[in-house]
Amino acid sequence: MPELPEVKTIQDQLNGFMPFSIERVRRSRVAGSIVHTPLTGLTGRTITHIERTGKLLDFRLDDSRHLLSHLGMSGAWLIARHPDPPIAEKHTHLQFQGKSPAGAGHLAYVDPRRFGHMYLYSAQQAAAKLQQLGPDLLSPQFTLQYFTDALLSYPQRMIKVTLLDQSLFAGTGNYIANEICAHGGVLPHRRVQTLCRAEISRLYRGVQRVLRPTIGKGGTAFGGGYRDAHGERGTGVQHLVVFYQSICQLCRQTPVVKTVLAQRGTYHCPSCQK
């Protein structure tokens, strides 16, 4: 599933083609399983820019409406410069034909598994939806004090389960939570209440140690699913230390242990994490 680095990569790439004036809208026969609101009045409108909170892309329209897009497990937005033909993808469910100063002719949402979600909202509706999310991991509001208070708000929870809570930490996902625990030197299945302040500080610093290199490499792809807006797969996997690794990349010698926690594959180093 695309997590913050992958969604930010797509956001940054698409913004390079904004503003985008919509001349025609095409939908697949099964787009209704993804698009949960009517897409009325988009023809003739312009996408001015794209913002993001966590894993939720926020397409801003020139009439103050918002097209909110969650990529689910396999969703992607692809951009093409050529005006014709449309992007030829088997699982294209929504396509905008139009123009941008960068010469893009088509903007398409592709989703093989159809677990993505999309909503066309007024500014007020969008604000209410976004308020369900905690601060973005890259936002100024995501301070050590906020991180500490949010983490300790559920003392009985396992650390990794809390890190996955989007109402607290917008943008985390399975690989990010595993990697934060690794860089923090704590076991993902420990209870939050067992953490000392030094461990919480290490976890907080671990957030940036996970995000920055991965964003710089265009995100992380694990065999299938994620593609950026140009159809490429990121190379951020080379920066992972425990997730999908056989040997811990911190100590370079201990075999990584895989378990299942909250129905998610969970990885840890029994030497580096306590």
Q: Which bin fits 190, alpha (ψ -120 to 50), beta or left (φ > 0)?
A: beta
DSSP assignment of 72-98 equals TTT-EEEEESSSSS----TTEEEEEEE
Q: Is 99 part of the annotated catalytic residue set?
A: no
For 45-176, where are the E strands, in sequence order? Answer: 46-53, 56-61, 66-70, 76-80, 92-99, 106-110, 117-121
Q: Is 8 part of the annotated catalytic residue set?
A: no
Q: Which of these is catalytic: 27, 190, 217, 264?
A: 264
- Residue 26 host element (H or E): strand 20-27
Residue 24 to residue 231: CA distance in whole angstroms: 22
Backbone angles phi, psi at 219, to 5 degrees: 95, -175
Q: Is 6 part of the annotated catalytic residue set?
A: no
Q: Is 55 part of the annotated catalytic residue set?
A: yes
For residue 178, the 8-state DSSP code is H
Sign of CA dihedral 151, 153, 159, 165: negative
Q: Which of these is catalytic: 55, 60, 160, 202?
A: 55
Give 211's contacts (C-beta < 8 A, 6+ positions apart): 4, 5, 137, 138, 176
Q: Which of these is catalytic: 2, 5, 135, 188?
A: 2
Residue 126 to residue 203: CA distance in whole angstroms: 31
- 260 - beta bridge partners? 265
Identify whether the C-beta of residue 112 lies closer than 8 Å to the C-beta of residue 89.
no
Backbone angles phi, psi at 160, to 5 degrees: -65, -40
Catalytic center residues:
2-3, 55, 264
